[in-house]
Amino acid sequence: MHAITTTEPGGPEKLTWSEVPDPVPGSGEVLVDVAATGVNRADIMQRQGAYAPPPGASPYLGLECSGRIAALGPEVSGWAVGDEVCALLTGGGYAEKVAVPAGQLLPVPKGISLVQAAALPEVVCTVWSNVFMVAQLRPGELLLVQGGAGGIGTMAIQVAKAVGARVAVTAGSRAKLDFCAGLGADILINYHEQDFVTAIERATDGAGADVILDNMGGGEYLDRNVQALAANGRLAIIGLQGGTKGELNIAALLMKEGTITATSLRARPLKEKAAIVAGVREHVWPLIESGRVRPVIDQELPMPDAAEAHRAMDSSHIGKVLLTAPRRQK
């Protein structure tokens, strides 16, 4: 088979379409013929040498895919060769084939094409596990999404609105904010023109956001996010675009009785991932199949053009960028 490989950390030009050995499914795994894979910020970090795969994971980029089951490993039940699936991966999505633990498989939702389904697993599992399983967003509460126009942001808006929450988003342009509004966002904050803490205070009469989904992490964002929290608010950190370190006013966190969590989906044990995937299938898949939630796809590119897809991630885009396998499955 072929896969996107890298010989050393660096820019998008380091990505090469190369011939590599076929993966072999182990016990509890299935082999998937890949139709498409989603491009995620974690892929950019891995290409740069800042996010190594966990021990035993595929060395190739790609944390989600869609495709058809080509073979079943030992101790697999409930799936059959030929099933159309999408999957949460620990790596290996930028390839023509990938071995996947059966607990991380999802059926392609009704009404969604095989290729479109590649835009779902990573973002839906991230949103469900952080916003709902950990932060426990409830109907009527306010969710603030930092970076509302990205793949995770566009999914978070839709799922939160579907369960009856209010949503505030930050984005860097009017076009992105308008798109978020079309998905249901209630409070729109242009971070080039507004201070998000002040904007949240004004929009909530000083109450603050009950849950904040943050892809920035460190720098000034850590303390600023705490300032924007409501009493008993929950800050869920899922990214490090603002840096790996930040100062925190613990007194402010104490006064609000707030909670800060930080999670990485990729490194979680198989049982935890399987539980997240099961929750997604039970709670979010019906929303997708009813049309209340949909994947937002900015563009699709051939998998050998992964370098161009990585450049697109660093430019202005809305939603997901997908890579399609050369022999695209229909």
**Domain match, 251 and 143 both:** yes
Together in a domain, 142 and 195: yes
Rounded to two decimals, what is the model's pTM?
A: 0.95
For the residues 249-266, what does the mean pLDDT come to? 93
Question: Could you tell me if residue 277 is inside a domain?
Answer: no
Domain shared by 311 and 206, yes or no: no
What percentage of the chain carries pLDDT values higher than 90? 91
Determine the 3-state secondary structure of 282 from DSSP: helix
Is it the case that residue 60 has pLDDT exceeding 90?
yes
Structural contact between residues 34 and 66, judged by C-beta atoms closer than 8 angstroms: yes
Q: At what angle do helices 174-183 and 151-162 cross, to 10 degrees?
A: 30
pLDDT of residue 72: 98
Last residue of a domain, which of 242, 262, 282?
A: 262
Please indicate, yes or no, whether residues 145 and 253 belong to a single structural domain of this protein: yes
Only one residue has tokens 């790996």, namely 244
Q: Which of 223, 218, 224, 226 is nearest to 256 (CA)?
A: 226
Which range of residues forms the domain containing residue 97?
Answer: 2-119+296-324
How many domains does the structure of the chain reveal? 2
Q: What is the CATH number of the domain that holds 180?
A: 3.40.50.720
**Burial code of 288-324, b = ≥16 C-beta within 10 A, e = fewer?**
beeeebbbbbbebbebbbbbebbebbeeebbbbbbbb
Judge if 133 and 204 occupy the same domain. Answer: yes
Confidence of residue 82 (pLDDT cuts 50, 70, 90): very high
45 and 169 belong to one structural domain:
no
Contact 128, 155 (CB under 8 A): no
What's the Rg (C-alpha) of the chain? 19
290 within some domain? no
Give me the pLDDT at residue 330, please: 42
pLDDT tens per residue across span 176-235: 999 999 999 999 999 999 999 999 999 999 999 999 999 988 778 899 999 999 999 999
Query: Model confidence over 94-148: pLDDT tens digits?
Result: 999 999 999 999 999 999 999 999 999 999 999 999 999 999 999 999 999 999 9
Question: Locate tokens 């675009």: which residue?
Answer: 241
Instruction: Please answer whether residues 217 and 246 qualify as being in contact, where contact means their C-beta atoms are separated by less than 8 angstroms.
Output: yes
Q: Is the pLDDT of residue 7 over 70?
A: yes
Output the pLDDT for position 218.
Answer: 78
Looking at the structure, do residues 109 and 128 belong to the same domain, yes or no? no
Does residue 288 lie in a domain region?
no
Mean pLDDT, the chain, whole residue set: 96
Residue 284 belongs to a domain: no
Task: Give the per-residue pLDDT at 53.
Answer: 92
